[in-house]
């Protein structure tokens, strides 16, 4: 039986491939979706990848995950640094939740050094480009089956 996993993406991540490729790489959002689904299937996951620029929608998706005991990989984007609503929704998790960042926030502007999500996440993977998602899915597999 495959386990459902949500890969949630916050603001501007739908612009991958065109948004600051020197920071976020040249792979498109569609490429990220395909990569997550392919690796997820290899790991026994049914991966659903979602993206929104709407903070409220991300909060609703986190509630859905908590209610359904669905593991989550989340890249909150800029919401990472200030969304207490998202932090409170993530704190309600009932399955592992892994925070992901494509770039290394600590190697960037100072405002990016703070994550309000990290304290309620199972763990954080950052700085490995889109590989951060692959590492997070592998870590999730360990958490779920380990």
> Which among 7, 8, 19 has a CA at the least distance from the CA of 103?
19
Whether 83 contacts 116, CB under 8 Å:
yes
Stretch (H or E) spanning 48 = strand 45-51
75 labelled binding-site residue: yes
Question: Would you state the structure tokens that stand for residue 46, as one six-digit string?
Answer: 């049914």
Active-site amino acid positions? 24, 101
88 labelled binding-site residue: yes
81 labelled binding-site residue: yes
108 labelled binding-site residue: no
63 labelled binding-site residue: no
60 labelled binding-site residue: no
Q: Which residue has the tokens 């199972």?
A: 122
Q: How many Cα atoms within 13 Å fall on the side-chain side of residue 144?
A: 24
List the binding residues for substrate: 75, 81, 88, 102-103, 112
Q: Which parts are annotated binding residues?
A: 75, 81, 88, 102-103, 112
């Amino acid at each position: 039986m495959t386990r459902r996993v949500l890969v949630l993406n916050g603001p501007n991540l739908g612009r991958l491939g065109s948004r600051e490729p020197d920071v976020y790489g040249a792979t498109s959002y569609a490429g990220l979706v395909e990569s997550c689904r392919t690796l997820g299937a290899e790991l026994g996951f049914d991966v659903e990848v979602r993206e929104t620029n709407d903070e409220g929608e991300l909060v609703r998706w986190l509630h859905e995950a908590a209610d359904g005991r669905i593991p989550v990989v989340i890249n909150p984007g800029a919401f990472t640094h200030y969304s207490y609503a998202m932090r409170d929704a993530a704190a309600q998790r009932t399955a592992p939740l892994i925070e992901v960042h494509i770039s290394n926030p600590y190697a960037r502007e100072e405002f990016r050094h703070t994550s309000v999500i990290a304290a309620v996440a199972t763990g954080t993977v950052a700085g490995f480009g889109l590989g951060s998602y692959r590492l997070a899915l592998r870590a999730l597999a360990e958490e779920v089956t380990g």
